[in-house]
């Protein structure tokens, strides 16, 4: 446990030692602001809630911003050779994988928390249901974790960060797509319904929407935690298999 | 104590290391020699637990690297090839991280960090990011990292690569000073290094162990072992007389420097005879020395010799 914490601390410090952290947070907040106030018409809608104009855009923002964080997790270690150093220290593979993942997740959480002015604004403008907003934040954070776990695993397959970025965007896109009603209807026409339901059940958007609407169902939370666990386990296996090359 | 038994590593159809077995007792500095691509680094990566062997076993300080990896890694310090480090960190931050991971308490940390920073002269660059350091400093940061927890076993993959001659000398002194109760395995392709720091040398090529001996024993295998070097202005007369001696098989002549090298029959030492001859003949002798042997020649003979015999078999 303490070794996981040591790795976590080193990773977090490294985000802030380079401009990466600051650039990411600024871009994230600018896009969030633009989406919710401009594109999402938060002000004009006349409704004091955050689901439609704010959380609705999170999956699409994460689609590009989360892979930008996750791409360096392991690809950079492989490229610079520090992976050899890290894995010959008295640290288990899982401690390394989890420590690095948690650092990236905490960093995403920080960026997400910095959107608090939006929350203050709607409270100033009206009387929103703050419980629903909290659920939205929880769902958004869990979804970011799911994307990050996918990205971390893919990052371990290559030493090229650009490849890691693109592959992660594609895989994450697939996980979003299956939840969209249009896509589901398209499959519904010809594919077996069990398969369609299974795919829709695996989609991030289905589970995120459920949480963001204010229904904190244990099953949706469990879904994201299982997704994270699955991809991190795969991550450890990938590193073990590919560390020689 | 390090025990390596029948170690083997395959990458697909390529066998990088095959049937390597040796033991290293406490207090020994082992030089790991071989041409590029011989399997030196692969072997070291398996000893450190980075790569999993295809077959065979490695035990370090009594711990099997596959079944008790954390225990084995705790008693080892490792400098990977190329001395990688986290570029955005400063050496101080990097050493703090290693101290955390190695579980040093506050007092130990202060004492050990002070010591390695001093030994490797890192004081000047402690607060500069590793990315901006010269190759020599980066190598020294890597060494500091490996030494920080005062490990019983040190595995150093080309520790002096990229250092200038002064720094090389310092690192060798450092390794020599360490060695009392530790095991040090140093890979290198610099032969003078083996003479300077190692008690024992292992030569591998194409993944096979080809020689395991002390540097002195290796030198004795050289045809220049006990050869006599003579510099004189009466070069022609000297060459003629010396080549007639029974214990001399061949005389190399370097006309420009007026020097000859008399290569002895194996197992003989013709220095006495030649010295007597020079006195009798009254040659003006500028230099008369015995060679211990040439490691680079032995190295070539051992590592290339294998290719020839393999070629003949095929």
Residues A1-25: tens digit of each pLDDT: 689 999 999 999 999 988 888 999 9
The least confident of A25-39, A43-57, B43-57, B154-168 is A43-57
pLDDT of A42 > 70? The answer is no
What's the Cα-to-Cα distance from B181 to each of A204, B60, B75, B178, rounded to whole Å?
A: 58, 15, 13, 8
Mean pLDDT of A146-157: 96
Distance CA A153, CA A232 (A): 6
Asked if A88 and B84 come within 8 Å (Cβ–Cβ), the reply is no
By C-alpha distance, which of B182, B113, B104 is closest to B145? B113
Asked if A9 and B100 come within 8 Å (Cβ–Cβ), the reply is yes
* Nearest chain B residue to A15, by CA: B88
Per the CB < 8 A criterion, the answer to whether B270 and B262 are in contact is yes
Q: Which residues 6+ apart lie within 8 Å of B24 measured at CB?
A: B1, B2, B30, B183, B185, B200
A237 CB neighbours in chain B (<8 A) are none
Distance (Å) from the C-alpha of residue B178 to the closest C-alpha of chain A?
21
Per the CB < 8 A criterion, the answer to whether B159 and B119 are in contact is no
Q: What is the ipTM of this complex?
A: 0.88
A17 CB neighbours in chain B (<8 A) are 88-89, 129
Distance (Å) from the C-alpha of residue B81 to the closest C-alpha of chain A?
9
Alpha carbon dihedral B268, B271, B277, B282, in 10-degree steps, equals 170
Mutate to test the interface with B, among A7, A16, A84, A86 (most CBs of B within 10 A): A84
What are B145's two structure tokens? Answer: 């990292």
Distance CA A105, CA A98 (A): 10
Distance (Å) from the C-alpha of residue B168 to the closest C-alpha of chain A?
23
Please provide the DSSP assignment of B200-254 as one string. EEEEEETTEEEEEE-HHHHHHTSTTTT-EEEEES-HHHHHHHHHTSTTEEEEEEE
Q: Could you tell me which residue, A193 or A226, shows the higher pLDDT?
A: A226
pLDDT band at B312 (very low <50, low <70, confident <90, very high): very low
By C-alpha distance, which of B194, B184, B157, B188 is closest to B60? B184
pLDDT digits (tens, 9 = 90+) for A164-214: 999 999 999 988 887 777 777 777 778 788 888 887 788 888 888 888 888
- Facing residue for B73 by CB, picked from A17, A80, A89: A89
pLDDT band at B313 (very low <50, low <70, confident <90, very high): very low
B15 CB neighbours in chain A (<8 A) are none
B145 CB neighbours in chain A (<8 A) are 85
pLDDT digits (tens, 9 = 90+) for B246-303: 888 888 888 888 888 988 887 788 888 888 888 888 888 888 999 888 888 888 888 8
Mean pLDDT of B167-187: 86
Mean pLDDT of A156-170: 94
Asked if A91 and B49 come within 8 Å (Cβ–Cβ), the reply is no
pLDDT digits (tens, 9 = 90+) for B193-216: 888 888 899 999 888 998 898 888
- Facing residue for A84 by CB, picked from B84, B89, B100: B84
Per the CB < 8 A criterion, the answer to whether B295 and B194 are in contact is yes
Asked if B87 and A84 come within 8 Å (Cβ–Cβ), the reply is no
Taken in order B231, B237, B240, B241, the sign of the CA dihedral is negative
What are A154's two structure tokens? Answer: 């893919």
pLDDT of A49 > 80? The answer is no
Asked if B88 and A10 come within 8 Å (Cβ–Cβ), the reply is no
Distance (Å) from the C-alpha of residue A78 to the closest C-alpha of chain B?
10
Per the CB < 8 A criterion, the answer to whether B58 and B52 are in contact is no
Distance CA B265, CA A3 (A): 62
Report the DSSP pairing between strands B285-290 and B228-232.
antiparallel
Neighbouring C-beta atoms of residue A25, cutoff 10 Å: 15
Mean pLDDT of A77-92: 93
Chains A, B: CB pairs < 8 Å: 66
* Nearest chain A residue to B129, by CA: A17
- Facing residue for B101 by CB, picked from A90, A244, A245: A90
Q: Which residues pair with B58 in a beta bridge?
A: B4
B78 CB neighbours in chain A (<8 A) are 85, 88
pLDDT of B132 > 50? The answer is yes
Which residue pairs from A123-130 have beta carbons closer than 8 angstroms and sit at least 24 positions apart in sequence?
Answer: A123/A48, A125/A43, A125/A48, A126/A47, A126/A48, A127/A48, A128/A48, A128/A49, A128/A50, A129/A49, A129/A214
Rama region for B8: left / alpha / beta (φ>0; ψ in -120 to 50; rest): beta
Q: What is the pLDDT of residue A177?
A: 84
pLDDT of B127 > 90? The answer is yes
pLDDT band at B151 (very low <50, low <70, confident <90, very high): very high
Mutate to test the interface with A, among B92, B97, B133 (most CBs of A within 10 A): B97
B50 CB neighbours in chain A (<8 A) are 84, 87-88, 243
What's the Cα-to-Cα distance from A188 to each of A125, A175, A193, B30, B204, rounded to whole Å?
A: 42, 17, 6, 68, 63
Distance (Å) from the C-alpha of residue B313 to the closest C-alpha of chain A?
31
Q: What is the pLDDT of residue A41?
A: 65
Distance CA B67, CA B58 (A): 10
Asked if B87 and A80 come within 8 Å (Cβ–Cβ), the reply is yes
**Edge to edge, what strands does the sheet with B259-264 contain?**
B248-254, B259-264, B228-232, B285-290
Q: What is the pLDDT of residue B117?
A: 94
pLDDT band at B309 (very low <50, low <70, confident <90, very high): very low
């Amino acid at each position: 446990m303490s070794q996981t914490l040591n790795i976590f601390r080193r990773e977090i410090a490294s985000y802030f030692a380079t401009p990466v952290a600051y650039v990411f947070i600024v871009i994230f907040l600018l896009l969030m602001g633009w989406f919710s106030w401009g594109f999402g018409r938060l002000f004009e809608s006349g409704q004091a809630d955050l689901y439609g104009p704010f959380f609705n855009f999170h999956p699409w923002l994460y689609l590009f911003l989360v892979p930008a964080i996750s791409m360096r997790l392991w690809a950079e270690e492989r490229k610079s050779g520090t992976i050899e150093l890290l894995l010959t220290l008295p640290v288990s593979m899982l401690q390394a994988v989890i420590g690095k993942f948690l650092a990236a997740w905490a960093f995403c959480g920080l960026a997400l928390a910095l959107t608090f002015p939006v929350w203050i604004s709607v409270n100033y403008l009206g009387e929103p249901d703050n419980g629903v907003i909290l659920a939205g934040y929880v769902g958004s954070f869990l979804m970011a974790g799911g994307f990050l776990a996918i990205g971390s695993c893919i990052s371990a397959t290559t030493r090229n960060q650009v490849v890691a970025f693109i592959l992660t965007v594609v895989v994450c896109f697939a996980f979003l797509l299956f939840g969209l009603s249009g896509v589901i209807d398209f499959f519904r026409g010809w594919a077996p319904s069990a398969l369609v339901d299974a795919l829709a059940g695996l989609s991030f958007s289905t589970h995120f929407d459920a949480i963001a609407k204010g229904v904190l169902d244990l099953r949706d939370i469990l879904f994201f935690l299982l997704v994270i666990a699955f991809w991190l386990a795969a991550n450890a296996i990938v590193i073990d298999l590919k560390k020689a090359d | 104590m390090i025990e390596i038994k029948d170690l083997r590593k395959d990458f697909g159809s390529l066998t990088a290391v095959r049937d390597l077995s040796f033991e290293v007792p406490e207090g020994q500095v082992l030089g790991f020699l071989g041409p590029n691509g011989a399997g030196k680094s692969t072997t070291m990566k398996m000893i450190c637990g980075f790569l999993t062997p295809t077959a065979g076993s490695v035990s370090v300080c009594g711990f099997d690297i596959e079944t008790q990896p954390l225990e084995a890694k705790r008693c080892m310090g490792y400098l990977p090839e190329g001395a990688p480090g986290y570029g955005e960190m400063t050496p101080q931050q990097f050493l703090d991280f290693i101290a955390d991971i190695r579980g040093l308490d506050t007092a130990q940390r202060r004492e050990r960090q002070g010591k390695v920073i001093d030994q490797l002269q890192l004081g000047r660059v402690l607060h500069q990011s590793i990315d901006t350091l010269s190759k020599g400093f980066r190598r020294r940061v890597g060494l500091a990292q490996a030494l920080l927890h005062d490990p019983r076993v040190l595995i150093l993959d080309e520790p002096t690569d990229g250092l200038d001659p002064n720094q090389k000398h310092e690192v060798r002194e450092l390794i020599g000073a360490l060695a009392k109760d530790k095991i040090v395995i140093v890979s290198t392709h610099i032969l003078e290094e083996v003479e300077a720091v190692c008690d024992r040398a292992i030569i591998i090529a194409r993944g096979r162990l080809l020689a395991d001996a002390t540097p002195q024993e290796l030198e004795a295998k050289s045809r220049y072992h006990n050869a006599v070097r003579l510099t004189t202005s009466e070069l022609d007369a000297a060459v003629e007389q010396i080549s007639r001696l029974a214990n001399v098989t061949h005389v190399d002549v370097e006309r420009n420097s007026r020097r000859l090298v008399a290569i002895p029959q194996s197992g003989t030492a013709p220095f006495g005879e030649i010295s007597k001859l020079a006195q009798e003949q009254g040659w003006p002798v500028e230099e008369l020395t015995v060679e211990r042997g040439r490691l680079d020649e032995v190295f070539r003979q051992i590592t290339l010799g294998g290719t020839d015999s393999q070629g003949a078999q095929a």
